[in-house]
Structure formats: C-alpha cells, structure tokens
Amino acid sequence: MNRISVAAVASVLLLGLASAPAWAQSAPRYRVTITNLTKGQTFTPVLIATHSPATRIFAPGTVVSPQLQVLAEEGDTAMLAALLRATPATVGEVVTGPPPLAGLQTPGTTRTYDISGGGTFTQLSLAAMLIPTNDAFVGANSVMLPSGFDPIAVDLLAYDSGTEINDELCASIPGPSFMECGGPGGGGRPGRGEGAIPVHNGMHGVGTMNAPLRDWRGPVARVTIVRVQ
C-alpha cells in the first residue's frame, strides 16, 4: 500500500474530467447521491459505473481483481476506471471523484454525481476506499437503475479486499494526518489477507487506530439514484 500521492490525485481528476461517451448525449441521465453513515471514516474518491449484467466490479467470496485491490488499498481509482472504460460493449459510463481526502468525512455528508445509463446499461456499481483502514472499501454491486423517475435508495456495506491483514497500524494505512499517528499514515503493505472478499468486520483497536472513534457496524453509506433526464 502506498500513500495517497499527488500523482494519484492528478489521475483521478483527469479520469473524472474525461468526456462522456457519444451515446450518452441522448441516453437517460441519473443523479447518484452518496451519504456517509459512519462517524470516523472518510471515503476516498468514488468510482461509479453503469453497465450491463455481464459486468461485475466485485463479488463477495471471490478473489479481488488487481485493479480493485489498488482502489481498496490506496484509494486510487485510475486502474479500475481504465479497465472498465476498455470494455464499452458492457460498460456505459464511468465517473470518478472527488479528489482523495476531500470526500465524506462526517455522518450525513453527501456527494452527488451525474451519470448516463439505460439501454443495455441497466445496472450501477460503485466503490471507494475507507480510511483509516488497511483495505476496506464501500461497494454497490450491480444495483438496478430505476425504470421511472421515482428514486431508489440502497444501504451499502463495507467489504474487505482480502489482500492485507487488518493490523490497524499507522505504518500500514495511507492517508492524511491522523490523530492516532501524529501525522500521515505510512502506507506499508502488510499482506497476509483473507484471500477473498468478505464483508468487513470493522475496526477493533488491535493496532494504532482508536476503535471507538473509527469503528462502524452495519451499513457505511447510502446511495440514492434518481433519473433526471
């Protein structure tokens, strides 16, 4: 795991500013609002994609892809966004942002994104890293886009990429200046993970991190999707 770097910020900004595909100009548009339900976790840049049923960005109980591993360990969406954009037959639009460390920092904080879908691209997925954690990410897995103009809301769990032991140490976690660390996390790669994607079991105070401040139980985010065009 590396620290979230200036290069990662730049790559996210460039991907987020990438022009929408040509088909999207006349496609249905959806507004996606993500609400942080935790009290002590921040979301790094969010990756959102519309796609056909043939695409999944993750599946619990399976080995994580290298691209999602980077997102879950480092908060960098660039590799996963590039992978998805390389399959236009099954992936509609990919949206990323905001920059790392400017995301959802307190309960009830929201961010809103617009994305195109419709036609064969009937589903929406998203992912973002939670910090400070070793390799936790919030994920929506193939949520059906609303067929009409009534909004839908889904509560989202946090998942573990299964690639790092949850040692909860400053030396292993990337990010800004954490109270427990007296500065930024080190971002080392401890390895020894679960080997497959489970539902994350929260923070337990086994390392440097303050469990009463950082822990969560149940859903970590709520996503609301409404068609706007």
DSSP state of 85: H
The pLDDT value recorded for residue 61 is: 97
111 found inside a domain: yes
Q: Which residues contact 173 (CB under 8 A, 6 or more apart)?
A: 1, 131, 132, 133, 134, 185, 186, 187, 209
* CATH number, domain containing residue 67: 2.60.40.2130
Residue 131 counted as domain residue:
yes
* 151 assigned to some structural domain: yes
User: Residue 51 falls within a domain, yes or no?
Assistant: yes
165 found inside a domain: yes
Evaluate whether residue 180 is within a structural domain: yes
CB 172 within 8 A of CB 134: yes
- Is residue 21 predicted with pLDDT exceeding 90? no
Q: Is 1 a member of any domain?
A: no
- Answer whether the bond into residue 151 is a cis peptide, omega within 30°: no
Q: How far is residue 79's CA from residue 94's CA, in Å, rounded to a whole number?
A: 12
* Best CA proximity match to 41, nearest among 102, 107, 124: 107
Answer for the pair 211, 204: CB distance below 8 angstroms, yes or no: yes
What's the confidence (pLDDT) of residue 105?
Answer: 62
Examine the pLDDT at 4 and tell me if it is beyond 90. Answer: no
Q: What is the pLDDT of residue 5?
A: 42
Domains in the chain, number: 1
Structural domain harbouring 146 = 6-17+27-227
Residue 124 tokens read as 């929406």
pLDDT at 8 over 50: no
pLDDT at 172: 97
Mean pLDDT score across all residues of the chain: 89
User: CA distances (Å), 96 to each of 6, 49, 111, 114, 210, in order?
Assistant: 16, 9, 12, 10, 30
Residue 22 included in any domain: no
Q: How confident is the model at residue 48 (pLDDT cuts 50, 70, 90)?
A: very high
